[in-house]
Amino acid sequence: MPYLLQDSKPRPPPLPREARATHSSGKAYEELKQECLRRGSLFEDPDFPASDASLFFSEKPPVPFLWKRPGDIVKDPKFILGGATRTDICQGDLGDCWLLAAIASLTLNEKTLARVVPLDQNFGPDYAGIFHFQFWQHNEWLDVVIDDRLPTFKGRLVFLHSAEHNEFWSALLEKAYAKLNGSYEALKGGSTIEAMEDFTGGVGEMYEVKTAPDNFYEILEKALKRCSMVGCSIDTSSAAESEAKTPFGLIKGHAYSVTGIDEVSYRGQKVRLIRIRNPWGQVEWNGPWSDNSLEWRLVSPSEQKRLSQTALDDGEFWMKFEDFKVHFDKVEICNLTPDALEDSTTHKWEVTIHEGSWVRGSTAGGCRNFLDTFWTNPQIKMHLTETDDGQDDCTFIAALMQKDRRKLRKFGAEMLSIGYSIYESPGGDGHLNKDFFRYHASKARSKTYINLREVSNRFKLPPGDYILVPTTFEPHQEADFCLRIFSEKKAITEDLDENVAIDLPEPPNPNPSPQATEETEEEKQFRALFEKISGEDMEVSAEELEYVLNAVLKNKKDIKFKKLSLISCRNIISLMDTSGNGTLEFSEFKVFWEKLKKWINIFLLFDSDKSGSMSSYELRSALKAAGYQLNNYLLQLIVLRYSDEQFQIEFDDFLNCLIRLENASRVFQALSVKNKEFINLNIGE
């Protein structure tokens, strides 16, 4: 009877809740602050000390920096002065403009800003040198506590600072984000969407406007209804073009925000419009449908009022959607999760989150170019059951994120090239094997494998069951990942991992009936060798068994291996010694020999090049052939124990693995009651 181990299920999306405290003391911000106030001392963070280690991991500071608190830099420091705005964000001597652009977008959304930057902080009477900020990381909100010591040179902040010399919220936010990622240097280079996701918990989409799908207008319309953050920009062909102004009043290489999309009645026809905001103000679009263009004179006052045309912010303007597609090149959408939205928002995404790992030797199979290992990657099953409103298909976004790579930079880690493929499910459960992927093409896939933190794409597929395979481009690359499925209607997802099942025959009786005692020629040869080694008692020790087995196996030409080890022979006796005397009787040896022949044949089946070893990626199939269906977690443990540095498993290791598995399963059989999935053990057992 197989034994089943309950699979772990994907975790539901997070509900609105308090962010988790991350300080090494286990204490939350308020508790740490009150301790400082009681002691009359300013907070010093041991987790992110005021030292070079918090600045850089691959170099020393170009000049000696001094860590100073805001009160040591100016006489009257303020946390926020006159509201948090884009003018509070000025880049310093760190290549993190991607982060600054995201912070600028953050200031446009008061609710999101208030979550990331708790506004009840100040340099007033309860000042204790401690501040905190909240970021989303891999399915949860984290509360990051810092002290307010900042790196300076000649009395000025070295990194991010405000245009107001006595305002410090943006510099402290940058420090908290640096702590989250391990150092200031870890913030060098990145994409704006990465930080936007960490500020919102949302999922990013990037579109090239010129090649956007036909329903791009509808995509933007739905995104804005869901309160998504939408940005757009114009490409530059050289550094000299950055911030260059076009004849139509647009700025190249500049981050704009999309704030609205609508249709207007114009000369008896519907015209699609899009509203753009330049956070820097002043410079605006001067083409058709700009603020004072002739087109608005032919639009009724009620329509103008509905579109708030007469009350646009400075730097905000409408333009025709077709003109937008001509003049802009890129659009970034950060779709917000339900917990980041107002309760009144009706157009919410349904979100499912999976967390997993690519582990060398077992689940790090690489992309479809590497068929022999591709099938070993994690597999996630999606049930798309409900079509979009008024549509025949199901819309979803699949976002694959590699975890903590920025934090691991100091250990030499870089962003891996990642992506995924989506296949129509053949039905049934269990991990799909190599032959399935050999003979079936994918129904959809990520546009490219790229070394960004997250790869996300939008898809429309008919209702049905699908298998998503997340991978690195190259095999044998290790990383943890988080896969998020955003769907318009509820999509059911599950890890397509094996249930643990063990299907072994009942152990044969080592003392058969007299009618079954007729010996084969092979058994007669074994008996003669056994008598020669063991003597009259017909029992062998581990050392003697080692001699017997190696003497027999060296004559088998179909299997190539060095020899069975003494440890293997001790394990064999442990498995087969029913009398408990530490030796192996001839009757017990005969039973084991039948097992060994079966295990040799299985090994030869997967030792495709007859080298005497097999790939650890074939272990799942080899163990299944021997009667052991194991999940990814158990396979990873076995590969770690029995494979070498080249992810090869020799026969001696394969034999030891099978012996250990059979021993464990026999113990479970003996102790289980009515084939239940769990057993109780006392200390002796």
Q: Which of 232-246, 381-395, 433-447, 637-651 has the lowest mean pLDDT?
A: 232-246
pLDDT of residue 143: 96
Are the C-beta atoms of 116 and 102 separated by less than 8 Å? Answer: no
According to DSSP, the β-strands at 140-147 and 20-21 are parallel
| 343 DSSP assignment | T
Which is the catalytic residue, given 23, 132, 254, 431? Answer: 254
Tell me the average pLDDT across 340-351: 59
Tell me the average pLDDT across 97-104: 80
With cut-offs at 50, 70 and 90, classify the pLDDT of residue 476. very high
pLDDT of residue 92: 77
Is the pLDDT at 79 greater than 50? The verdict is: yes
Q: Note the pLDDT tens digit of each residue in 501-524.
A: 777 766 555 455 554 556 677 667
Is the pLDDT at 499 greater than 70? The verdict is: yes
Tell me the average pLDDT across 524-541: 76
Q: How far apart are CA 562 and CA 570, in angstroms?
A: 18
Most confident region among 297-311, 395-409, 544-558 by mean pLDDT: 395-409
Angle between helices 586-606 and 542-553 (to 10 degrees): 50
With cut-offs at 50, 70 and 90, classify the pLDDT of residue 581. confident
pLDDT of residue 9: 42
Is the pLDDT at 410 greater than 70? The verdict is: yes
pLDDT of residue 578: 75
| 129 DSSP assignment | S
What's the one-letter identity of residue 566? L
Q: How far apart are CA 605 and CA 529, in angstroms?
A: 29
The yes-or-no answer on residue 97 being catalytic is yes
Q: Note the pLDDT tens digit of each residue in 196-250.
A: 899 988 888 889 999 999 999 999 998 888 778 788 889 887 766 767 889 999 9
The yes-or-no answer on residue 139 being catalytic is no
At residue 270, φ and ψ (nearest 5 deg) are: -90, 125
Of the candidates 312, 314, 254, the residue with the CA atom closest to the CA atom of residue 282: 314
pLDDT of residue 424: 96
pLDDT of residue 683: 58
Within 13 Å and on the Cβ side, how many CA atoms surround 216? Answer: 22
Tell me the average pLDDT across 95-109: 78
Tell me the average pLDDT across 152-175: 91
pLDDT of residue 678: 66
Q: Note the pLDDT tens digit of each residue in 543-557.
A: 888 888 888 777 776
Cα 202–Cα 12–Cα 458 angle in degrees, nearest 5: 45
Query: pLDDT higher for 495 or 35?
Result: 35
Which is the catalytic residue, given 109, 139, 181, 278? Answer: 278
Q: Which of 154-168, 400-414, 493-507 has the lowest mean pLDDT?
A: 493-507
pLDDT of residue 344: 47
* Residue percentage of the chain with pLDDT more than 70: 88
Kindly provide the b/e burial profile for residues 273-286, where b requires at least 16 CB atoms within 10 angstroms of the residue's own CB.
bbbbbbbbeeebbb
Q: Note the pLDDT tens digit of each residue in 104-119.
A: 778 877 888 899 999 8
Averaged pLDDT of the chain: 84
- The set of long-range contacts for 194-198, using a CB threshold of 8 Å and a minimum separation of 24, is 194/98, 194/102, 194/452, 194/453, 194/454, 195/98, 195/99, 195/101, 195/102, 195/103, 196/102, 196/105, 196/106, 196/229, 196/332, 196/334, 197/136, 197/334, 197/454, 198/135, 198/136, 198/137
350-499 CATH = 2.60.120.380
Within 13 Å and on the Cβ side, how many CA atoms surround 628? Answer: 24
Q: Which of 106-110, 117-121, 122-126, 374-378 has the lowest mean pLDDT?
A: 106-110
Which is the catalytic residue, given 97, 138, 347, 383? Answer: 97
User: Which residues lie below 8 Å from residue 341, measured CB to CB, with a gap of 6+?
Assistant: 226, 227, 348
Q: Which CATH class is domain 514-671?
A: mainly alpha
Are the C-beta atoms of 361 and 617 separated by less than 8 Å? Answer: yes
Query: pLDDT higher for 592 or 144?
Result: 144
**What is the CATH architecture of 203-340?**
Alpha-Beta Complex (3.90)
pLDDT of residue 227: 75
Instruction: Decide whether 350-499 matches 514-671 in CATH topology.
Output: no
Q: How far apart are CA 507 and CA 519, in angstroms?
A: 19
Are the C-beta atoms of 207 and 220 separated by less than 8 Å? Answer: no
Q: How far apart are CA 654 and CA 598, in angstroms?
A: 13
pLDDT of residue 16: 43
pLDDT of residue 264: 92
pLDDT of residue 4: 30
Q: How far apart are CA 176 and CA 383, in angstroms?
A: 39
pLDDT of residue 284: 84
Domain boundaries along the sequence of the chain: 20-200, 203-340, 350-499, 514-671
Tell me the average pLDDT across 326-335: 90
| 416 DSSP assignment | P
Residue 409 corresponds to which tokens in the numbers above?
A: 């930079």
Residue 177 corresponds to which tokens in the numbers above?
A: 């984000």
Within 13 Å and on the Cβ side, how many CA atoms surround 401? Answer: 26
- Partner residues linked to 276 by β-bridges: 258, 317
pLDDT of residue 15: 39
pLDDT of residue 129: 96
Are the C-beta atoms of 621 and 498 separated by less than 8 Å? Answer: no
CA distances from 421 to 200, 347, 497 (A): 27, 28, 17
Query: pLDDT higher for 551 or 673?
Result: 551
With cut-offs at 50, 70 and 90, classify the pLDDT of residue 12. very low
